[in-house]
Structures are given as structure tokens and as C-alpha cells.
Amino acid sequence: MTLPRWEDLPEGGTTAELVARETIVGGDPRAWLALGFLTVVVLLYRGLLARVRGLARPTDPEAEAAPQAAFRPVELQRYSRHILLREIGGPGQKRLKAARVLVVGAGGLGSSALLYLAGAGVGTIGVIDDDVVEGSNLQRQVIHTDARIGVPKVFSAEIAMRALNPFIEVRPYNRRFDEASAALVADHDLVLDGSDSFATRHLVNRACVAAGVPLISGAITQWEGQVSLFHPATGAPCYACVFPVEPAP
């Protein structure tokens, strides 16, 4: 291979051109130093990138050993925008399909959460509530309709979720969350509590603590709301640790 002549190289230019110029004239130490620095930067970047990718992968051996959920072609099209996201991708969407989430309450908070869980492709969604749909619910409980006034909310929610995504399993529990219902928590990976009773919230919390299941608790009143994640199995506080006493009415 014939190297270009010094006279053919432009003045100034990029670092690579400067390195090439110095190399042609016999290997100036500064050129080799610059080349070495660039090499180190590239290697560090590659190492950092590999580390970030490693952190993004699931590290739970049981999760990795679990059977992988298969997608129909129509599901791949449905979830294509999720799969394109680097933070979710195919593995993340499979984990959503294999997930089991229990939602307590199909009212103002639960109705929106249920629709988005169904749309996102969470494979199994349980919903527990003992109330029925009323006309005054419809301005905020968007999962229900006029045609389903008088229908138990869990069945109304089931209809809406199945219509939105026929590839999920919906488990409606038409009853109040009580001590007997607490056993349902252990059958799920996550609980979302959108109930409007402090007694129910504390009961849900106790069931989640006993089962080691993370709890997302939400509450709203007029113009204010809050949402919190409680997972004492990881050393974090539980709902009762933060709210040990019910507020005055």
C-alpha cells in the first residue's frame, strides 16, 4: 500500500488527519499519545455501554427460567411501539404478558388504571369491588358506560378491558375486599389499591406485607392526590408505617 505524501495532507484538520501526518513523518510521540487516548476513550465507552445493557437485563433467575410467553402476529403489531422502546423491548413485553396484577376498586382511580393495564398487555388482571355502576360515576369512572348502569363494576370493567384487548385474562371478583379476600394477593405479582376506605387500605396493606407482594397505593380528594409504592420485603416501609392512624373525618 502506498502512503500519501506529506504535501497531500491538509493543514489542520481532524485528529485522525493530524495523527496520520505525524505517523507519515516517522511517528511523533504526540501522535501516538493522541491515538492511545482515543483508543482508551473508545474502550471505556464500550465497557460502559455493556454495563448499562447488563443492568437493563432481568437478573432474577426464576424470571429468566420461567416459560416465555409467545405472541401471536397480531399481538406483535399491537405492542410494536412498546417493543421498539429500548427500556421495554421484546423481553419487557413478555414480562408484562406474564404479569399478574390485582386492582382493588373499579372507581375513579381503578377505572383508568385498569384500562391502561389492559392496553399495555398485562397478561392477567384481577379486579375486586362490590359496588355497581351509577350515573353519577360516569364523569370520572371512564371504564363504565350508560348502558351498564346497575351492573356490578367488576363486570362492567371486564367488558371494557376485554373489548380493548382480547389477548388478556380478566378476573372479576364481585365482593368487598375483606379478610377472606386477602388470600387473592398471594396469587398476584403486584397490587394497585384505589379503594376509598382507610379500613380497606390497611387491610390491603397487611395482606401485601404478609404475602411479600409490592403495593401501589393511590388516593385522591377534590384537587389533591397521591401515589406511593410500598414494598417492605425490600426493606422499605409499608403503608401502615407511613400512615399508622386514620385521619379524622
Residue whose C-alpha is closest to residue 162's, from 115, 108, 99, 204: 115
- What pTM did the predictor assign? 0.72
| 99-242: CATH architecture | 3-Layer(aba) Sandwich (3.40)
Quickly list DSSP for 156-215.
Answer: HHHHHHHHH-TTSEEEEE-S---TTGGGGGGG-SEEEE--S-HHHHHHHHHHHHHHT--E
Region label for 193, one of left (φ > 0), alpha (ψ between -120 and 50) or beta (otherwise): beta
Name the E strands within the chain: 100-104, 124-128, 169-173, 190-193, 215-221, 224-230
The pLDDT assigned to 247 comes to 77
User: Mean pLDDT in the chain?
Assistant: 84
CA distance 33 to 40: 11
H helix count then E strand count, the chain: 10, 6
The pLDDT assigned to 158 comes to 99
Eight-state DSSP code of residue 70? P
The pLDDT assigned to 174 comes to 98
CA distance 5 to 3: 6
CA distance 82 to 113: 18
Residue burial 47-74, b: 16+ Cβ < 10 Å; e: rest: eeeeeeeeeeeeeeeeeeeeeeeebeee
pLDDT digits (tens, 9 = 90+) for 172-183: 999 999 999 888
Q: Using CB atoms within 10 Å of the CB of residue 29, give its burial: 0 to 12 exposed, 13 to 18 middle, 19+ buried.
A: exposed
Tens-digit pLDDT profile for the chain (249 aa)?
A: 555 554 554 555 555 555 455 554 455 666 666 666 666 555 555 654 555 455 445 555 554 444 456 899 999 999 999 999 999 999 999 999 999 999 999 999 999 999 999 999 999 999 999 999 999 999 999 999 999 999 999 999 999 999 999 999 999 999 999 999 888 999 999 999 999 899 999 999 999 999 999 999 998 888 988 899 999 999 999 999 999 988 776
The pLDDT assigned to 36 comes to 66
